[in-house]
Amino acid sequence: MATFKEFRNSVKPNWCPGCGDFSIQAAIQRAAANVGLEPENLAVVSGIGCSGRISGYINAYGLHGIHGRALPIAQGVKMANRELTVIASGGDGDGFAIGMGHTVHAIRRNINITYIVMDNQIYGLTKGQTSPRSAEGFKTKSTPDGSIESTLSPLEIALSAGATFVAQSFSSDLKQLTTLIEEGMKHEGFSLINVFSPCVTFNKINTYDWFKENIVNLESIPEYDPSNRIQAMTKLMETGGMLTGLIYQDKSRKSYEDMVVGFHQEGISNQDIQISEADFSKLVAEFK
């Protein structure tokens, strides 16, 4: 069984010192080791943005996709080889702006992959513009007078779209984050994990201290039931989406792959895909 260190490679991350993404990378590596994966059992697909670099920093199969398209690629990887554990990753701009359409449909489709969003409420790679997760009144280079748009509530949208696993964490809480990623990997279906990951360079509002003051950890609510979808939605609305922990999980619904008739358990690379001359001729004849 691989150790945490075996999911490291020789590529040094070039995120800004203090960026929350460092902790998220470590949590993914720890979770992969804890659930018993080997590097060749894991595929990490990322989008564009600071967070998009993560696929190159983990010793596993990695693919750095294009902006907003990590999920279509990750779903394709999983459908081609369901033996792989597949993680898609990106920022709040990548997943909740240009890629939002893909996010909603991946949620309702319930393919067995884990989507980790590094949510810093700003566009960091392009030097600080308002994102869909920025608060009303948020001043950036793209909104010098303050944003007049309402903040997107991705976890409420996920529940509305039929999500079967919804969680949220804070990059400073490595223990909780690692556990949630482990549970997301083990969940049979689509797992959405949103992670508050402060941008120390361009977001001077949503800082580490700000999150510590505003986060409500579900561990402090003993009566909370993560299998209760109505309670999950209510708590998200009551706290303005500032919950951390396992917010909702539905174990009763089958994953997309398990509902596809005749879908092989083994990946394409392990299947016998030889075709007889007679079958080949029959297929060719259909196009004449």
Q: What is the mean pLDDT of residues 131-135?
A: 95
Give residue 26's pLDDT band: very low, low, confident or very high (50, 70, 90).
very high
Q: Whole-angstrom Cα distance, residue 36 to residue 56?
A: 21
pLDDT, tens digit, for every residue of 177-195? 999 999 999 999 999 999 9
Q: What is the mean pLDDT of residues 118-122?
A: 95
Strand partners for 63: 45
The pLDDT value given to residue 275: 86
Q: Whole-angstrom Cα distance, residue 67 to residue 242?
A: 26
Average pLDDT value for the chain: 95
* CA dihedral over 134, 138, 142, 147, signed as positive or negative: positive
Residue 90 DSSP class: E
- Estimate the crossing angle of helix 100-109 against helix 70-80, to 10 degrees: 30
How many whole angstroms from its chain centre is CA 158? 12
The pLDDT value given to residue 186: 98
pLDDT, tens digit, for every residue of 238-253? 999 999 999 999 999 9
Q: What is the mean pLDDT of residues 137-148?
A: 94
Q: Whole-angstrom Cα distance, residue 238 to residue 41?
A: 40
Residue 63 has pLDDT above 90, yes or no: yes
Q: How far does the chain reach from its first CA to its final CA, in angstroms? A: 52
Quote the percentage of the chain above a pLDDT of 90.
Answer: 89
Q: Whole-angstrom Cα distance, residue 284 to residue 276?
A: 12
* CA dihedral over 108, 68, 186, 15, signed as positive or negative: negative
CA atoms within 13 A on the CB side of 90: 30
Tokens 């120390």 locate to: 200
- Is 2 within 8 Å of 33 (Cβ atoms)? yes
- Is 116 within 8 Å of 185 (Cβ atoms)? no
Give DSSP secondary structure letters for 266-283: S-GGGS-----HHHHHHH
- Is 197 within 8 Å of 24 (Cβ atoms)? yes
Between 37-46, 149-158, 248-257, 269-278, the lowest mean confidence (pLDDT) is in 269-278
The pLDDT value given to residue 1: 78
4-285 homologous superfamily:
Thiamin diphosphate (ThDP)-binding fold, Pyr/PP domains (3.40.50.970)
The pLDDT value given to residue 274: 85
